Structure 1
Amino acid sequence: MDSGEKRLNELGYKQELRREMTLFKTLAISVSTVTLFTGITPLYGSSLLYAGPAPLVWGWVVVSFFTWFVGIAMAEICSSFPTTGSLYFWAAHLAGPKWGPLASWCCAWLETIGLIAGIGTQAYAGSQTLQIIILLCTGTNKDGGYFAPKGVFLCMYMGLTIIWAILNTFALNVIAFIDIISIWWQVVGGMVIVVMLPLVALSRQSASYVFTHYETTPETTGIRSAAYAVILSFLVSQYSLYGYDSAAHLTEETKGADRNGPIAILSSIGIISVFGWAYILALTFSIQDPSYLFDVNNETAGAFVPGQILYDAFHGRYHNSTGAIILLCVIWGSFFFGGLSITTSAARVVYALSRDEGIPFSKFWRRVHPKRKVPSNAVWLCAAVCILLGLPILKVNVVFTAITSIATIGWVGGYAVPIFARMVMEENNFRPGPFYLGRASRPICLVAFLWICYTCSVFLLPTSYPLKLNTFNYAPIAVGIGMTLIMLWWILDARKWFKGPVRNIDIQNGMV
């Protein structure tokens, strides 16, 4: 019995999942979830359009700085509570017996909503990248290339979701191997793009343009406030820099999780902070004509700014788009790996919540396959809900904005509950693990909590004016209705029986 399993038993849980993940494998899954390309690529164009390159470039630095506070706070808690329930389990125990059930209820549902919507963001952005790859392989927007219509796009979206569910059902060992490939894919592929793209581009933007140029486009976005434009330009960084808690979801499957879980959380933040900024700089320095990027008549139909930057660079030098297609395939691979990892994390959270009777028909969703030792029913529940989220693609143009906002608010909002509980609890009630902050814990948690509140708030803002049915950010409505129903369920019924994490081992009373 290693230290992680021993601590799990002390907390009242028996070991049920297979504990075979090493630090490197756990780090690989965590990095695959935060991934280098999946956050930056789909939102790069809109952030550049809001306020120009300078807020986009420096926004990554600012967001990375505050993300470290969140990551450090979560690493300390993960070291003390190495369980697959992670955030909602932490919330229950840190909030104490009086508020613990409500805290775990809110945290669990926020996290579940965020993770399942997170699968949708990967499926949507991956389909968008594949759409551009097919377009460039069959010509361009100017040459009659095939630009997949909404129906085909939805099929791509559903296909990716189903593939991830199949792999998570039948191939956990394969997933562990794929995630090892993924971390090298991110690092090596990222280095290739970061180095090659500026070298291939016939011309490069000046440092003054990249680091100091500010320009709003009210005629396109409808946003005339400079401060508002800058806030929206930060969204790409705030969306990209979360998901590092995936390491915590796998702690019941990780060797020495009370040490390796925190290491994986902080290492993934460090890797993505450095490579993410380098990727943003490579794209921005390689822009050939800023105004041409958003032209609906350009080679990529103005639909995918990073794809146009890659096309301009390679076609300008080699008079063909082969290099751009290859690098877009590297980016698409990142979306594939990211979606696979988020599906793994989402299923673990649904499994953990079902194990504690927190979801209707919990007995069905918490079943673990007797041979493969994976929560297969939870996997397919996540996939089904994700597909339902994507169905409006056929009629609504702002589906990605809504899904992205829901994912960020749910996922990051879930971080706030245990961090706040850790900040206000009595220190002598906290049993620290190997990673312990001591007196620094409260100020770090305070900064982290305030940053999370700000992040969730800005994702509720409209991103385009004037407000219309096809430009409105539907996230506030979706999240508001969802959380209202969940809280009504709590008030009318769940508070009578939901007590938070349910121990399945009899233990002596003591600090947790």
Structure 2
Amino acid sequence: MQFAPSSEEIKAILLSSIGLLAHENMQVIGGVAVIVILPLVAQQTQSASFVFTHFETSPEATGISSKPYAVILSVLLSNYCLYGYDTAAHLTEETKGADRTGPAAILSSIGIISVFGWAYYLALTFSIQDFNYLYDVNNETAGALVPAQIIYDAFQGRYHNSTGAVVFLCIIWGSFFFCGLSVTTSAARVVYALSRDNGIPFSPIWRRIHPKYKVPTNAVWLCAAISIILGLPILKLDVVFTAIISINTIGWVGGYAVPIFARLVMDEKNFKPGPFYLGRARRPIYLVAFLWICYTCSAFLLPTLYPIQWKTFNYAPIAIGIFLTLIMLWWAFDARKWFKGPVRNIDLQNGHS
């Protein structure tokens, strides 16, 4: 049976498409503008030998003098950004031919993010004007926002005003805003899916679909409210941002470790390959992926500033320990009695929901 979409459903689809296009255009066009224009604006650019061979730990600003430790911490931001494929994975359920398009979307996402991220880092490092001034607590960003300081120094040195730097920072902040929308959308999708399976408290409320816009508005508002509540302390304490980033990354990356490890130890006769199959390369790839996730989760638990004080301590291990304890207690005393796994919501026999 085929269903013709109503005018309201078409409107909702168009609005979603416009929002998605605005997000992608801001990310791509804004990113290309920063990557191309910033080195051209800079009065002087660093040499290739400086960019690719100079190693700096900046112990005065970070308190870290160990080069191996600095290398471990240096990959945290790239790890966090690379996991943007998570959104593509979430949306595969509503994608036609997801067994093929899903893996293609995930790999494409990783490839695009890698290219743009590498180009962005190169644009910033080539455009450094005064390296020692970047971490000076008396500079325009108090030595804490190095990328913003690089952009400011480039425009200030060329034009003797900061207007261009403000424009570039607005582009970056706009990208953050649209990324926030994407994260909220993806989170609401997960909340809706879990509530549809009765997997979270008050599930009937979060899985309710708006009669006009055909979206789980309650789930969206829940995710937005949680984001606001978690974000408010960041206005006062920088350490909260570090903890939130660490907890989020460990949470969703660690979630992928479970099926990867299960696939690693699973007997091959119990597995039916799909069209996207790794063949003989599967087990080495599973092992590398699992070990990489373990490394990533461990690195996000480490302090990023020394000496360790209340305002520099990484509270992610404590927060994760508390959340895991509460979840396990909830499971042991309540959830295991009623949660039976995913709920089938499609009539396979008749082929319609």
In structure 2, the CA distance between the partners of 1:280 and 1:265, relative to structure 1 (3 Å rule), is: same
Contact 2:239–2:313 (8 Å) recurs in 1: yes
CA contact (8 A) 2:257 2:290 kept: yes
Q: Is 1:276–2:117 an aligned residue pair?
A: yes
Partner of 2:298: 457
- 1:137-183 per-residue CA deviation (whole Å, 9 max, x = no partner) reads xxxxxxxxxxxxxxxxxxxxxxxxxxxxxxxxx96632322222322
Q: Is residue 176 of structure 2 the alignment partner of residue 335 of structure 1?
A: yes
* TM-aligned CA deviation for residue 359 of structure 1: 0.5
Task: Check whether the contact 1:205–1:286 (CA below 8 A) recurs between aligned residues.
Answer: yes
1:505 and 1:181 mapped to 2: Cα distance?
33
Aligned mates of 1:269, 1:497 — CA distance in 2: 38
1:443 equivalent in alignment to 2:257: no
Amino acid at match of 1:483: L
RMSD: 2.2
Does the CA contact (< 8 Å) of 1:172 and 1:374 recur in 2? no
Is structure 2 residue 70 aligned with structure 1 residue 251?
no
Following the alignment from structure 1 to structure 2, what is the Cα–Cα distance between the partners of residues 195 and 345?
Answer: 31
The 10-residue stretch of structure 1 (295-304 or 269-278) with the greater mean CA deviation from structure 2: 295-304
8 Å CA contact 2:34, 2:168 repeated in 1: yes
Q: Hey, what's the Cα distance between the residues in 2 that align with 1:293 and 1:218?
A: 13
Do the aligned partners of 2:57 and 2:67 also contact (CA within 8 Å) in 1?
yes
Alignment of 1:374 onto 2:218: no
Residue 277 of structure 2 is aligned to residue 416 of structure 1? no
Q: 1:440: Cα distance to partner?
A: 2.1
CA distance in structure 2 between the aligned counterparts of 1:315 and 1:474, rounded to whole angstroms: 37
Secondary structure of 2:208's match? coil
Match of 2:335 in 1: 494
Distance 1:303 1:333 in 2: 20
Q: 1:295 to 1:224 in 2, by over 3 A?
A: closer
Of structures 1 and 2, the one with the larger relative CO (CA 8 A, separation 6+) is 1
1:132-211 equivalence runs, <5 A? 173-211=14-52
TM-aligned CA deviation for residue 288 of structure 1: 0.3
Q: Using the TM superposition, name which of 340-349 and 238-247 deviates more.
A: 238-247
CA offsets per residue over residues 29-72 of structure 1, 9 Å max, x none? xxxxxxxxxxxxxxxxxxxxxxxxxxxxxxxxxxxxxxxxxxxx
Q: Say if 1:347 and 1:379, in contact at 8 Å, map to a contact too.
A: yes
- The percent identity for this pair of structures is 75
- The answer on 1:217 being equivalent to 2:55 is no
**Kept in 2: contact 1:258–1:433 (CA 8 A):** yes
- The aligned residue for residue 385 of structure 1 is 226
1:171, 1:308 → 2: CA distance?
41
1:243-300 deviation per Cα after TM superposition (whole angstroms, max 9, x unaligned): 2021121223333333222221111111111111011011001000111112232223
Amino acid at match of 1:228: Y
- 1:449: Cα distance to partner? 0.9
Cα drift, residue 394 of structure 1: 5.4
Deviation per CA, 1:163-216: give whole Å up to 9, x if none: xxxxxxx96632322222322332222222112111110111111111111122
Moved more, 494-503 or 458-467: 494-503
Structure 1, 480-489 or 177-186: larger mean CA deviation: 177-186
Of 338, 347, 354 in structure 1, the residue corresponding to residue 195 of structure 2 is: 354
1:463–1:303 distance in 2 versus 1, CA, 3 Å: closer
Q: 1:311 to 1:198 in 2, by over 3 A?
A: same
Letter in 2 for 1:471: T
Q: Bigger radius of gyration, 1 or 2?
A: 2
Cα separation, 2, equivalents of 1:394 and 1:181: 27
Q: For structure 2, list consecutive stretches of 5 or more residues without a partner in the other structure.
A: 6-10
Call closer, same or farther: CA 1:448–1:385 in 2, change over 3 Å: same
Alignment partner of 1:308 is 2:162: no
CA distance in 2, matches of 1:325, 1:279: 17
Q: Answer yes or no: is the 8 Å Cα contact 2:63–2:307 preserved in 1.
A: yes
Q: Which residue of 1 aligns with 2:8?
A: none
Query: SS of 1:177's equivalent?
Result: helix
Q: Per-residue CA shift, 1:452-495, capped at 9, x if unaligned?
A: 01000000011122211111111111111001110111122222
Q: Secondary structure at the match of 1:250?
A: helix
Q: Which amino acid aligns with 2:271?
A: F
8 Å Cα contact 1:354-1:363 kept in structure 2: yes
Distance 1:256 1:180, change over 3 A: farther
Q: Deviation at 1:337?
A: 1.3
- CA displacement at 1:506 relative to structure 2: 5.5
User: Within the alignment, does 1:479 sit opposite 2:302 as a pair?
Assistant: no
2:19 maps to a residue whose letter is I
Aligned position for 1:504: 345
Deviation at 1:507, TM superposition (A): 5.2
C-alpha separation in 2, matches of 1:226 and 1:210: 17
Give, in whole Å, the separation in 1 of the partners of 2:258 and 2:244. 22
**2:236 pairs with 1:398:** no
Of 238, 242, 245, the residue aligned with 2:79 is: 238
**Structure 2 length-normalised TM:** 0.90
- Report how far residue 497 of structure 1 moved: 2.2
* Contact 2:12–2:214 under 8 Å retained in 1: no
Q: Is the 8 A contact 1:223 1:229 kept in 2?
A: yes
Higher mean alpha-carbon deviation, 301-310 vs 396-405, is at 301-310
C-alpha distance in structure 2 between counterparts of 1:394 and 1:275, whole Å: 29
What do residues 85-121 of structure 1 show as CA deviations (whole Å, max 9, x unaligned)?
A: xxxxxxxxxxxxxxxxxxxxxxxxxxxxxxxxxxxxx
In structure 2, the CA distance between the partners of 1:291 and 1:267, relative to structure 1 (3 Å rule), is same
Task: Write the distance in 2 (CA, Å) between the matches of 1:329 and 1:176.
Answer: 23
